[in-house]
Amino acid sequence: MLSFFKDYKVFAIVFGVISIIIITIIYNTLNVYQPLPIYQPTMVSTELVDSTIQHQKKYHKIADFSLTNQNGKTITQEDYKDKIYVADFFFTTCQTICPIMTTNMAEIQNEILNDDEVMLLSHSVTPEIDTVAQLKRYAIKKGVNDKKWNLVTGDKKEIYKLARKSYLAVKDQGDGGPFDMVHTENFMLIDKKRQIRGFYDGTNTEDIKRLLKDIEILKASYNH
């Protein structure tokens, strides 16, 4: 009888160890690291992409830029070198989706405030209205932290090209001037290589949560 219990005890231990190993394998299989996609023009709605690059399947990156922020400082790609950042397009007099987008961008700012890897960049689509002084008033009103978040204005042609050829983020006005654009609710996640890694609805709370999670995934990717 004692021999039976001893044998059973050995069996139970072996069975337990094997079960733990199997559970661990299954857990690791289900939680395999999944990198974020790298978005190319062919992966985005043609409404948002300049016709000259709509068939581009690889090597897409954010172009060099030179714009002016709410403090009158020139902001270029060098200010975002080796940074992950969230970009969007807005205008300060917008009364529809912009207030919601700005509130949500401010929420992201609060989450990344002490994270040196992550920044924010908001481009005005009405630079003729959004002067430096106007952006500064707006920044103060919305609680913008100058070290984390640049609101930028500049040459409308340059902003239009960035929107349509780099960020793949706004619609062409069509019936307006050559550089008229209709901004969307899109937030774009940009990696340290200036590649687009995600699109999010800047007015949607669940999408903002997803964006924050994707920032962590992207940060972790640099450790793999």
Place of tokens 């709410």: 70
Residue 223 has what pLDDT? Answer: 83
Residue 6 has what pLDDT? Answer: 54
Name the pLDDT band for 8 (thresholds 50, 70, 90): low
**Whether residue 28 is found in the same domain as residue 59:** no
Beta-strand pair 118-124/84-90: parallel
Residue 13 has what pLDDT? Answer: 61
Domain count, the chain: 2
Name the pLDDT band for 21 (thresholds 50, 70, 90): low
Task: Report CA torsion sign: 79, 81, 82, 87.
Answer: positive
Mean pLDDT score, 28-57 = 86
Q: Give the domain CATH number at 72.
A: 3.40.30.10
Token pair belonging to 208: 């903002």
Is 183 assigned a ligand-binding role in the annotation? yes
Question: Given a cut of 50, is residue 27 above it in pLDDT?
Answer: no
**Whether residue 176 is found in the same domain as residue 101:** yes
Range name among 1-15, 145-159, 170-184 with the lowest pLDDT average: 1-15
Question: Given a cut of 50, is residue 30 above it in pLDDT?
Answer: no
% of the chain with per-residue pLDDT over 90:
78
**Whether residue 20 is found in the same domain as residue 48:** no
**Whether residue 6 is found in the same domain as residue 46:** no
pLDDT in tens, 87-144: 999 999 999 999 999 999 999 999 999 999 999 999 999 999 999 999 999 999 999 9
**Whether residue 162 is found in the same domain as residue 217:** yes
Question: Given a cut of 70, is residue 2 above it in pLDDT?
Answer: no
pLDDT in tens, 185-219: 999 999 999 999 999 999 999 999 999 999 999 99
Is 94 assigned a ligand-binding role in the annotation? yes
Q: Which residue has the higher pLDDT, 24 or 200?
A: 200
**Whether residue 76 is found in the same domain as residue 58:** yes
Question: Given a cut of 90, is residue 44 above it in pLDDT?
Answer: yes
Contact 151, 139 (CB under 8 A): yes
- Please give the residue range of the domain that contains residue 7: 1-32
**Whether residue 112 is found in the same domain as residue 164:** yes
Is 55 assigned a ligand-binding role in the annotation? no
**Whether residue 120 is found in the same domain as residue 214:** yes
Average pLDDT, the chain: 89
- Residue 133 phi, psi (nearest 5): -60, -40
